[in-house]
């Protein structure tokens, strides 16, 4: 409750906010800088690594596919070169060669065919009934006729199945013919299909028109690619000089980023495109990022909690210290006030004392003269006597006031001696008994026995308690009541409580009653110095005097007196 009250003060709120801000910024700035630098560096190098890996992969497969194609072409060329048109035109020979090829390479070579310059198939070996097929209109044939070697794009052909053709044109003895072989699409496709990475990485091959040459995993059949896609971009901008492999990152409609790695193969006829979702390619990086993010969130959370807790503690402590300092200041001011007033009072007392003495003496002289005979007969003699007596009485009152002022101002007085507090109180009670009787006050005492001895000035202590008792009696003068004096030990303090059932002190006066010259008694009755003197004495003794009061119910004065250290040590 105290804490919230303290922190409700805007000054402390601002202070706490500043501390929190400082702690957080001092902790956050390096944290953020270091983490983001490391993350950035890591991401850059990781990305480079991934790209390099993909580049290698694509390059490797480009070579792989190129060499596959080259190999198949080489086989066919070898056949064409070694055996010549005549022998190869023999279908059974051709069958034999196909069988040999299939034996060596598996079912890669689907069939073999010899086609003459007019596009007629002279001989055929293979599973399909393609004898005498006419290819003069087929695109591959027209292309093949223009070159020495030709590998066609994948097409459905006469059979309606995806395949491509490897053709070797031989021009010997004035005789132009073509040895062609159908390459099994499945076997070729496997080559490309095997390029798989992660969960989304796959490769496809496109021809120059953008037609798929392989079956991509996600797209089941041969298809042209969507216009404006990345593929066309690759195709329309053929490899720049020296840049055989190109990498691009594109986001599609659903905002998923995809990495494309492309490389031309088959002398630029085909394009191998490897693609993988960005997130998949950088899965490890993303995992790191997630972990970092969690740490970046948890760390600051801890810092914030710590900053708030710590600054709360610090600010509370500061508030506490400030409070103590304020109390100290108030005390210093109070003490200073008392001291100043004390010096002033002492000066005033000295100055006033002499004139008062003279006045009293003059009055005494007048009193002396009254005894002379001629005045003895005056009818106003009694009045003269009364007036002179009054002057003397009032002079004596002045003397009392100055005496009190002087004793209040006196810095050091009274010899320190061993004191049994209960004995002192007992004596004072006895002293006040007569007055109490007239005031109809019953005095009760509750003394704790065997209290440690005090080392204080007896006369000062008597002055304090006599003052408190007299005040209590004054408070109950008209109505009577009971006065309770209690002594007890609390830790290293002897506590004496003087409780009356008098009229009490109004709350407005409570914090002024120790001020010098503050009095509620009628003029002439009190000097307003009694409690002030008590305060000064108890303060000098290193003790404390407190007051609690409720108007109409009574007042409790509590005096705390320090037990000498060696005393407590001996009794312990």
Partner 1 sequence: MTTPFVMLVDDEAPFLETMTKRLEKRKLNVKTALNGQSALEALEKNPSIDVIILDVKMPGMDGIETLRKIKAGYPLAEVIMLTAHATVESAIEGMKLGAFDYLMKPCDMDQLMSKVQDATRKKRDHEEKIRVAKVKEALTKYGM
C-alpha separations of 229 from 153, 206, 210, 234, 236 in Å:
21, 13, 10, 9, 11
Question: Which among 451, 486, 480 is positioned nearest to 557, based on CA atoms?
Answer: 486
Among 49, 325, 350, 479, binds partner 1 (CB under 8 A): 350
Taking CB under 8 A as the rule, does residue 356 contact partner 1?
A: yes
Buried b (16+ CB within 10 A) or exposed e, 515-542: bbeebeeeeeebbbbbbbbbbbbbbebe
Binding region for partner 1 (CB under 8 A) out of 37-45, 192-200, 356-364, 561-569: 356-364
Q: Which residues contact 62 (CB under 8 A, 6 or more apart)?
A: 244, 245, 263, 264, 265, 272
Q: Least distance from C-beta 405 to partner 1, angstroms? A: 9
211 Cβ contact partners less than 8 Å away, ≥ 6 residues apart? 153, 154, 222, 223, 224, 225
Q: CA 163, CA 182: separation in Å to the nearest integer?
A: 7
- The DSSP bridge partners found for residue 259 are 249, 276
Which residue number, 209 or 361, has a Cβ lying nearer to partner 1? 361
Q: How far is the CB of 413 from partner 1 (least distance, A)?
A: 7
The pair of structure tokens assigned to 194 is 């095997």
Q: How far is the CB of 409 from partner 1 (least distance, A)?
A: 10
3-state secondary structure of 411: coil
530-540 helix and 381-409 helix, angle to the nearest 10 degrees: 20
Using the rule CB under 8 A, give the single segment among 306-314, 352-360, 504-512, 520-528 that binds partner 1.
Answer: 352-360
Q: Which is nearer to partner 1, 396 or 446 (CB)?
A: 396
For the CB of residue 403, give the shortest distance to partner 1 in the complex, in Å. Answer: 6
With binding defined as CB under 8 A, does residue 403 bind partner 1? yes
Token pair 């009045």 is found at 383
Q: Does 387 bind partner 1 (CB under 8 A)?
A: no
- Residue 540 interacting with partner 1 (CB under 8 A): no
Token pair in block for residue 179: 């040895």
C-beta of 66 vs 362, nearer to partner 1: 362
Give the one residue of 152, 215, 275, 402 binding partner 1; rule: CB under 8 A.
402
Instruction: Give the shortest CB-537-to-partner 1 separation in angstroms.
Output: 16
Contact with partner 1 (CB under 8 A): which of 11, 60, 78, 365? 365
Residue 489 engages partner 1 in binding (rule: CB under 8 A): no
The least CB distance from residue 529 to partner 1, in Å, is: 14
| Interaction of residue 343 with partner 1, rule CB under 8 A | no
* Count of residues that interact with partner 1, criterion CB under 8 A: 23
Indicate which single residue of 157, 210, 395, 543 sits in contact with partner 1 (rule: CB under 8 A). 395
Neighbours of 279 (CB within 10 A): 16
**Closer CB to partner 1, 156 or 387, in the complex:** 387
List the end-to-end C-alpha distance of the chain, in Å, as a whole number.
37
Map residues 366-385 to x or -, x wherever contact with partner 1 holds by CB under 8 A. --x-----------------
Note the Cα 416 to chain centre separation in Å: 59
360 lies in the binding site for partner 1 (CB under 8 A): yes
Nearest to 179 by CA among 238, 101, 256: 101
530 scored as a contact of partner 1 (CB under 8 A): no
- Of the candidates 237, 81, 238, 266, which has an alpha carbon nearest to the alpha carbon of residue 164? 266
What is the number of other CB atoms lying within 10 angstroms of the CB of residue 67? 12
Interface residues toward partner 1, by CB under 8 A: 349-350, 353-354, 356-362, 364-365, 368, 395-396, 399, 402-403, 406-407, 410, 413
């Amino acid at each position: 409750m105290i804490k919230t009250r303290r922190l409700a003060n805007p000054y402390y709120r601002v202070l706490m906010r500043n501390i929190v801000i400082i702690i957080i910024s001092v902790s956050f700035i390096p944290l953020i800088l270091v983490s983001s630098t490391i993350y950035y560096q890591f991401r850059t190098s990781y990305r480079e690594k991934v790209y390099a890996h993909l580049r290698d992969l694509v390059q490797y497969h480009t070579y792989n596919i190129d060499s596959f194609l080259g190999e198949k072409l080489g086989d066919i060329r070898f056949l064409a070169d070694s055996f010549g048109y005549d022998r190869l035109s023999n279908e059974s020979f051709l069958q034999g060669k196909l069988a040999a090829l299939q034996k060596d390479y598996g079912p890669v070579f689907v069939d073999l065919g010899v086609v003459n310059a007019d596009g007629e198939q002279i001989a055929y070996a293979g599973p399909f009934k393609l004898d005498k097929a006419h290819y003069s209109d087929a695109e591959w044939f027209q292309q093949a006729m223009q070159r020495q070697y030709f590998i066609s794009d994948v097409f459905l052909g006469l059979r309606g199945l995806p395949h491509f053709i490897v053709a070797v044109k031989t021009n010997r003895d004035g005789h132009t013919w073509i040895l062609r072989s159908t390459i099994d699409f499945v076997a070729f496709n496997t080559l490309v299909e095997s390029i798989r990475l992660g969960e989304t990485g796959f490769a496809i091959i496109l021809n120059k028109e953008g037609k798929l040459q392989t079956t991509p995993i996600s797209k089941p059949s041969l298809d042209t690619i969507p216009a404006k896609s990345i593929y066309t971009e690759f195709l329309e901008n053929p490899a720049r000089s020296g840049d055989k492999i190109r990498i691009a990152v594109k986001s599609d409609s659903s905002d998923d980023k995809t990495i494309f790695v492309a490389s031309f193969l088959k002398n630029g006829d085909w394009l191998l495109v490897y693609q993988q979702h960005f997130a998949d390619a950088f899965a490890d990086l993303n995992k790191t990022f997630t972990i970092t993010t969690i740490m970046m969130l948890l760390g600051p959370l801890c810092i914030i909690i710590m900053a708030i807790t710590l600054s709360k503690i610090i600010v509370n402590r500061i508030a506490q210290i400030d409070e103590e300092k304020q109390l100290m200041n108030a005390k210093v001011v109070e003490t200073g006030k008392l001291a100043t007033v004390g010096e002033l009072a002492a000066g005033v007392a000295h100055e006033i004392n002499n004139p008062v003495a003279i006045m009293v003496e003059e009055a005494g002289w007048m009193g002396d003269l009254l005894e002379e005979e001629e005045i003895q007969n005056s009818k106003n003699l009694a009045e003269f006597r009364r007036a002179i007596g009054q002057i003397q009485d009032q002079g004596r009152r002045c003397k009392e006031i100055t005496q009190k002022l002087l004793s209040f101002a006196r810095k050091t007085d009274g010899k320190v001696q061993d004191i049994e507090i209960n004995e002192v109180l007992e004596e004072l009670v006895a002293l006040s008994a007569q007055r109490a009787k007239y005031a109809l006050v019953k005095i009760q005492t509750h003394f704790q026995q065997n209290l440690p001895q005090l080392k204080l000035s007896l006369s000062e202590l008597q002055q304090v308690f006599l003052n408190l008792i007299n005040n209590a009696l004054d408070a109950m003068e008209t109505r009577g009541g009971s006065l309770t004096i209690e002594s007890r030990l609390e830790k290293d303090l002897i506590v004496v409580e003087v409780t009356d059932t008098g009229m009490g002190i109004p709350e407005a006066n409570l914090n002024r009653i120790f001020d010098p010259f503050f009095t509620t008694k009628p003029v002439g009755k009190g000097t307003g110095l009694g409690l002030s003197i008590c305060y000064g004495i108890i303060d000098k003794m290193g003790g404390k005097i407190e007051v609690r009061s409720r108007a109409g119910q009574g007042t409790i004065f509590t005096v705390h007196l320090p037990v000498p250290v060696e005393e407590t040590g001996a009794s312990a």
